[in-house]
Amino acid sequence: MARRITLKDVASRAGVSESAASFALNGRPGVSDATRARVLEVAEALEWRPNHAARTLSGAGTSTIGLVIARGTQEIGSESFFLRLLAGIQDELSPRHYGLLLQIVASLDEEVATYRGWSTAARVDGVLVVDLHTDDPRPAALEQLDLPAVLVGVADPEHRRPAVTIDDGAAMERVVAHLIDTGHRHVVHLCGDLTARHVAARAAAFRGAAEGAGVVAEVVDTGFAPAVAARAVAASCEGEQRPDAYVFDNEVLALAGMHSLTQAGLRVPDDACVVVWEDSPVARAIDPALTALDRDPFTLGAHAARRLLEVLAGADGDVEEPLPSLVVRQSTRCARTVPA
């Protein structure tokens, strides 16, 4: 059998010390970009792979990070957000020879139990946490387990954990401002689970921005269920005061809602305008193409994974993502003429 390529082999070929090679391969600070690139190139050429068993026994770590998603499998499979998020995470981890351990569970309690099992078995070096909720048990549990973590999307002021954040409130204000500027006076936000902090922040900003401008605003919690969104839009079309614009939290809800508008004999954007919270290939390909926030889950996943690796190397604090721009397309280019 061929001898296993070791860290010492990589360091020797690259002309650096073993500690410098380790820093380079694990994405840790302490080496120059040129040195890191040279070490990674040598490791790839030698087909070096970390010895996970030896690293765990020596306390050096597992070269694996964990992600638990507490949502239904059908919900995850129906939208592109999580697929693109996972792709971004893996794109950041692969060059550093880190793996991703993914678990899908039905509840936050099951997620906490998964963290406990991983911590006991030393399965992961740290975890990424998504969909932070009100009264969320996960930050306290991770603190108790002393398991490194990075929160994705929002920070938790009570239990200080590093986070990669996005100002969802400011992003929603940008959406509402566009709808107001294009003449809309009755807007509806069809959102996900309002117990999630990022969803609640969007809904609060939606109401505040619209009502502050004298615009009628409604928020409907669809729980990311397209059938619920379709029924909500259909019901809104039956009233005398029909909405003239809809904001959907993802493209799946938007497609369901637009189907209901079509069934009611209404056209987008002539009779009602549509905005989707995150841009996607679906938003660009549908006719009419959908106005959308330029939020990139791939980049968010990559940045979150990078921040967790930095935390494992001793970093602390939050990182804020740039405020997403609004990409205006055909679905909001027109507005019904309404009385002033």
How distant, in Å, are the alpha carbons of 30, 115, 321 from that of 313? 10, 21, 21
Tokens of 330: 């055909």
Are 156 and 304 in a shared domain?
Answer: yes
Please tell me the pTM assigned to this model: 0.79
Are 144 and 72 contained in the same domain?
yes
Burial of 103 (0-12, 13-18, 19+ CB in 10 A): middle
- Beta-carbon count within 10 A of 17 CB: 13
Here the tokens at position 267 are 């056209």
Domain membership of residue 268 as a residue range: 168-295+326-332
Amino acid sitting at position 25: L
Residue 232 and residue 90 share a domain: no
φ and ψ of 205, to 5 deg? -65, -35
On whether both 44 and 192 belong to a single domain, the answer is no
pLDDT of amino acid 59 = 53
Number of domains present in the structure of the chain:
3
Question: Would you write out the chain's pLDDT as a tens digit for each of its 340 residues?
Answer: 456 688 788 889 999 988 788 778 776 677 888 988 899 899 888 887 765 444 544 455 788 999 999 987 777 766 788 999 999 999 999 988 899 999 999 999 999 999 999 988 889 999 999 999 988 999 999 999 889 999 999 988 787 789 999 999 999 999 999 999 999 999 999 998 899 999 999 999 999 999 999 999 999 999 888 999 999 999 999 978 899 999 999 999 999 999 999 999 999 999 999 999 999 899 999 999 999 999 889 999 999 999 999 988 888 889 999 999 999 999 997 644 433 3
Question: Is there a domain that residue 338 lies in?
Answer: no
Same domain for 159 and 213?
no
DSSP single-letter state for residue 322:
P
pLDDT at residue 53 in the model: 45
Is residue 144 a part of any domain in this protein? Answer: yes
Same domain, 184 and 264: yes
Residue type, 224: F
The side-by-side arrangement of strands in the sheet containing 126-129 is 99-105, 64-70, 126-129, 149-153, 163-165, 319-320
Q: 281 with 177, same domain?
A: yes
| Judgement on whether residues 180 and 285 belong to the same structural domain of the protein | yes
Does residue 339 lie within any of the structural domains? no
Domain containing residue 162: CATH number:
3.40.50.2300
How would you label 197-224 residue by residue, b for 16+ Cβ within 10 Å and e otherwise? bbbbbbbebbbebbeeeebebbbbbbeb
Within-domain flag for 21: yes
Give one DSSP letter per residue of 193-258, joined into a string. -TTBHHHHHHHHHHHHHHHHTT-EEEEEE-TT-HHHHHHHHHHHTTSSS--SEEEESSHHHHHHHH
Closest CA to 142 of 121, 119, 109: 119
Does 196 lie in the same domain as 123? no
Residue 60's pLDDT is 57
In a domain, 1, yes or no: no
User: Are 190 and 246 part of one and the same domain?
Assistant: yes
Q: Are residues 177 and 162 in the same domain?
A: no
Q: Answer yes or no: is 56 within a domain.
A: no
Does residue 160 sit within a domain?
yes
Q: What is the CATH number of the domain that holds 23?
A: 1.10.260.40
129 and 100 belong to one structural domain: yes
